[in-house]
Amino acid sequence: MRHISVEPPPFFHRGPSPLARLAFFGLLSLALLFADTRYRYLESVRHAVAVVLYPVQRAVQLPAEVLAQVTSYFSSQAALAEDNAALRQQLLSEAPVVQGYQLLLQENARLRALLNVEKRFQGATTAAEVLYSGRDPFTQKLFVDKGESAGVQPGQAVIDEVGVVGQVTRVFPYMAEVTLLTDKDHAVPVKVERSGVRSVMYGAGSGRLPELRFLSPNVEIQAGDKLLTSGIDGTYPSGLAVAQVVSVERETGQIFARVTCKPLAGVEKSPHLLILGRAAAPPQRPEEPAESDTPRKGRGRHRG
């Protein structure tokens, strides 16, 4: 050993032995693991610790923010002008669509009022920035910089400029946790844009593409089809772009077709996200007959 030992001889009191301490804390961890996975008792503790952690998390963001500000300060005028021109062009090219959309929106609102149907969205949308992505390789999660203080609630859908990114699953005072489409426990009800076939897209974990399960081999779906949210779960508003079908394998001998799809949104890339207001609450689910109370596997805890 390099330094002179300042430890007293072992006959002085030094507290419990390391092994005893390990046993104590090990058992405590196991109790926590059990309490958290089985009963979710500890959300309030998690909130308290999250508040303590928040300054550290913000401190990590600071250098990147300063760098972004400095670079934007020094970005050349020519580049800005070019950018501006391109954006104007894009605005102009999208103007007819937008104007048409306004008309459709009004028409839709009138029709819905006539039919007495509730509005699609409730509450405002919130723009948020990604703070960091969780380091846990077993789940696919992000943290964004808007939380309870900005009115974010668990269950809200999160999108980027192309499509659905995921869903808010936990809300802390100043930040929120977003579970991504690709998370293993995440399921999104979707429909195929072309044929209207309904299904549920299940995430498959990091590095693997999500898939549609339990589709019979003769179902009307092909590679390249676009999947939209179907809106039947009451969590995701209907009609948001979700993914594109990459491959459809129909093997004889298999009961179900194997359909993999690729999320359209930059699920792990987009730095700016939009948290949508809650979809209107669906009507109460009718009572089920008593014999079908078997637990449904895989329908996910994130149904909001």
Partner 1 sequence: MPHLPSFAPARPEEILLPVKPWFVMLTLILGLIGNLIPVSGVTLRLQPDFLALVLLYWCIQEPRLISVGMAWCLGLLMDVADATVFGQHALAYAVLAYAAEYSRRRVLRFPLWQQAAQVAVLLLFCAALVLLVRVVGGAPIPRWTYAVGPLVGALLWPVVTTLLQWPQRPRRSQAEV
Binding site for partner 1 (CB under 8 A): 1-4, 6-7, 14, 18-19, 21-22, 25-26, 28-33, 35-37, 42, 45-46, 49-50, 52-53, 56-57, 59-61, 64, 130-139, 141, 143, 170, 177, 184, 205-207, 268-269
Cβ proximity to partner 1, 32 vs 81, nearer residue: 32
Minimum CB distance to partner 1 smaller for 31 or for 80: 31
Neighbours of 298 (CB within 10 A): 11
Q: Which two tokens stand for residue 300?
A: 């996910």
CB of 198 to partner 1, least distance (A): 26
Q: Provide the minimum distance between the beta carbon of 268 and partner 1 in the complex, in angstroms, as a whole number.
A: 6
Nearer Cβ to partner 1 (158/221): 158
**Cα of 3 vs its chain's centroid, Å:** 51
Q: How far apart are CA 187 and CA 134, in angstroms?
A: 19
Q: What does the block give as tokens for 239? A: 């009609």
Is-contact 165 178, C-beta < 8 A? yes
Number of H helices, E strands in the chain: 3, 12
**Nearest residue (CB) to partner 1, 137 versus 283:** 137
Beta carbons of 165 and 180 less than 8 angstroms apart? yes
Distances (CA, A) of 176 to 51, 128, 145, 215: 12, 10, 7, 34
Handedness of CA 176, 182, 185, 190 (dihedral sign): positive
DSSP sequence for 133-176:
E---TTS-EEEES--GGGT--TT-EEE-SSSEEEEEEEE-SS-E
Which C-beta is closer to partner 1: that of 41 or that of 214?
41
**Least distance in angstroms from the C-beta of 44 to partner 1:** 12
Nearer to partner 1, 34 or 101 (CB): 34
CB of 243 to partner 1, least distance (A): 19
> Which residues face 31 on adjacent strands?
none
- 98 or 127, CB closer to partner 1? 127
Nearest approach, Cβ of residue 219 and partner 1 (Å): 26
Report the candidate in 298, 301, 304, 296 with the shortest Cα–Cα distance to residue 200: 298
CA distance 250 to 215: 10
CB of 148 to partner 1, least distance (A): 15
Tell me which DSSP letter residue 233 carries: T
* Nearest residue (CB) to partner 1, 131 versus 257: 131
Whole-number minimum distance, CB 254 to partner 1, in Å? Answer: 21
